[in-house]
Amino acid sequence: MYLDSAIFDYSDGFAVAAGIPYGEQGVWGEGVPADIGALKFYRKSWTPGSDTLFYEIPIRKCTREDFNFGDGSDTSKALFYPTEKSLADLKNHWNNMLCPVDVKDFYGNGNFDSTVASNLMVVFETCDQAKETAGKTGVRCKSEDLIVEWMKYKYITTLTN
């Protein structure tokens, strides 16, 4: 078993936000359309003698309060303290980033060679019509060809502390 001190979590300042920039000439859109897919966060954990477990971490759109922009606003709830070099980009894009609902869901320990570990995954999942139909969400997924076309020149951008 690992020691509690080996866990890296929110009490150490660990936080992650992610987004997919897209649009004309790098302008961010309003998030990934549901009929295309979704950006998700997972915690992947394993221990000796057990299956690898995947826990989907609940996420939300980040708010201005999640970031310390150095403008004198209240930073008591800030998850991120960006460097001066990244501040300009962050000011343009913070409102298209996804953050955890509860920062306590974000933690990690070990590495890929550890017998006991928990790692964070940021994943883009394409819309799956079978899942959407089973879940009765009312979403009608785009065709695989249209999803692939939408994904061209896209990338996941992350912000970490």
Per-residue model confidence (pLDDT) at position 134: 64
pLDDT of residue 7: 76
- State the pLDDT at residue 23: 53
The answer as to whether 131 is a domain residue is yes
* Residue at 158 is within a domain: no
Rounded CA-CA distance 45/109 in Å is 9
Q: What is the mean pLDDT of each run of 10 residues along the chain (161 residues)?
A: 62 81 52 86 88 91 81 72 77 82 82 81 88 74 91 82 72
Q: Which of 147, 151, 148 is nearest to 132 (CA)?
A: 147
Q: Which two tokens stand for residue 7?
A: 């866990």
Boundaries of domain holding 115:
4-153
Q: How many domains does the chain have?
A: 1
Domain for residue 86, yes or no?
yes
Instruction: Kindly report whether the global pTM for this prediction surpasses the value 0.75.
Output: yes
